[in-house]
Structure 1
Amino acid sequence: MKKLIMAILLIMATASAAHAAFDKYTIDRSNLPQAAQDILQEYFPKAKVSMIKIDKHLLKKTDYDVKLVNGTKIEFNNAGKWTSVDCKTREVPQGLIMKPIRNYLKKNFNDEKVVKIEKKSWGYELELSDGVELKFNLLGQFKSMSMDD
């Protein structure tokens, strides 16, 4: 039994060490897929990159985590499409929010700004500047609301 536990621990430690070896850090935008470079150029043209983490997974595709000097964090998938944009206290660029969601926000939360948006398999999750979290389906239809505690 002890040998089995030791073997499992050894395998886990080896896998963790190997996983860390796949990560790469840079500040060079050219290491990103072209689609990610285009998004940065269009929506964050003056922002400077403080770090790009290229996260290669053993069984999954590569993810890219970009941190800008102003604190904004953007996550991209292997194809260079954004999966998460966290602008902290700044507003997420309107062009990253689909039109039906923008229309809903204008009608119901006109005084608040979107500070974070995440693209999930089931739809979109947004965080507003007042701490309200909103969920929308893939078509941009409102699904639910919750308050940040």
Structure 2
Amino acid sequence: MIINLFFVTLLAASCSSDDNNSETIVQTSELPSQSKSFLETYFLGYPIVQIQRDARSVDEYYEVRLTDGTQVDFDKNGMWTEVDGNGRSLPTSFIHANIVTYVNSNYPSASIESIGKEIYGFNVDLTNNFDLRFSREGIFLGMEN
């Protein structure tokens, strides 16, 4: 009986809520001004549905979901790290001009569906399911494997 009580107590402790969860829902007012400005400039007309903050993450500190399904990730300082249209074309005015020119010239029937900052530069996903890599200067490096 005592052994059973011990195991029930141990099981209850292991199933308790996760107090170490670093993800929390926050209000727009908690976003850095740089993040707010980015959203107002490039995604005006697409209200924010939800903002999730992950205090443990470096590159996805704020995850912002918009009404059109777009997700924008920001680092702790408010700089965008990834923009994902989730199947929709992204506005390109915030994307390096060399990348936009390359995509328009080489894939005229496709558009940029997501872009993420990487150590080498940028990972760009097109609406035709091609994944491209570019340097920080917007120079084409190759296809994603």
User: For residues 44 and 71 of structure 1, what CA distance do their matches in structure 2 show?
Assistant: 12
- The alpha-carbon deviation at position 102 of structure 1 amounts to 1.2
* TM-score of the superposed pair, with normalisation by structure 2: 0.81
Assess if the C-alpha contact under 8 Å between 2:132 and 2:143 holds in 1: yes
1:23 aligns with 2:23: yes
Listed one character per residue, the Cα deviations across residues 34-93 of structure 1 (whole Å, up to 9, x for unaligned) are: 1100011001111111110011128x5870000112211110001111111010122111
Q: Given the two structures, how large is their TM-score scaled by the length of structure 1?
A: 0.79
Counterparts in 2 of 1:61 and 1:104: CA distance versus 1, 3 Å: closer
Calculate the aligned-residue CA RMSD, in Å.
2.2
Q: Is the Cα contact below 8 Å between 1:124 and 1:137 reproduced in 2? A: yes
**8 Å CA contact 2:32, 2:77 repeated in 1:** yes
Whether the aligned pair in 1 keeps the contact of 2:59 and 2:74 (CA below 8 Å) is no
Quote the sequence identity (%). Answer: 27
1:132 matched residue in structure 2: 130
The equivalent residue for 1:98 is 96
Q: Would you say how many aligned residue pairs link Structure 1 and Structure 2? A: 130
Aligned to 2:143, which of 122, 142, 145?
145
Distance 1:61 1:109, change over 3 A: closer
1:71 corresponds to which of 45, 69, 74: 69
Larger radius of gyration: 2
Distance 1:126 1:145 in 2: 9
Runs of at least 4 residues of structure 1 off by over 6 A? none
How far 1:19 moved relative to its partner?
Answer: 3.4
- Superposition deviation, residue 24 in structure 1: 1.6
Tell me which amino acid in the other structure corresponds to 1:43: Y
More helix by share: 1
Unmatched tracts of structure 2, length 5 or more: 1-13
